[in-house]
């Protein structure tokens, strides 16, 4: 998915060691620029932020995945970014999720309408 949003807070970086070795995580808080703005915390793992200079109040385009997992009967959802670029076009500041059904079809040629029978 993709969103364009304003950076409002850079949270402290977190590091540690897990079963797969050393890890580094940086959480950033963005604010959508819709009629009713929402704040969204997006995680950046590893060195995904090395290629961009972050400044609060600047607008960025973030590509990310949504992932949920269950732990002790509760569900937790993470937004994990895989790309971020500074938005060069201030006139297009809508924070609409850009991934559509037609985008999915072009990415995965095996997608069929039969797989789109969701109950909601």
pTM above 0.75, yes or no: no
pLDDT in tens, 6-19: 999 999 999 999 89
Q: How far is residue 2's CA from residue 99's CA, in Å, rounded to a whole number?
A: 7
pLDDT value for 50: 83
Q: How far is residue 97's CA from residue 1's CA, in Å, rounded to a whole number?
A: 6
Residues of the chain falling short of pLDDT 70: 88-120
pLDDT value for 118: 54
Range of the domain at 72: 2-116
Q: CATH number of the domain that 88 lies in?
A: 2.40.50.140
pLDDT value for 87: 84
Number of domains in the chain: 1
């Amino acid at each position: 998915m993709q969103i364009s949003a304003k950076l409002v807070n850079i949270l402290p970086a977190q590091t540690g060691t897990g079963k797969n070795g050393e890890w580094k995580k940086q959480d950033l808080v963005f604010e959508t620029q819709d009629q009713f703005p929402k704040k969204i915390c997006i995680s950046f793992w590893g060195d995904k932020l090395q290629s961009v200079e972050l400044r609060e109040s600047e607008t960025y385009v973030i590509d990310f995945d949504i992932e949920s997992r269950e732990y002790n009967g509760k569900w937790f959802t993470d937004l994990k970014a895989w790309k971020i670029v500074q938005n060069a076009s201030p006139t297009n500041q809508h924070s609409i999720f850009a991934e559509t059904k037609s985008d999915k079809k072009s990415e995965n040629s095996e997608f069929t309408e039969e797989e789109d029978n969701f109950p909601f």
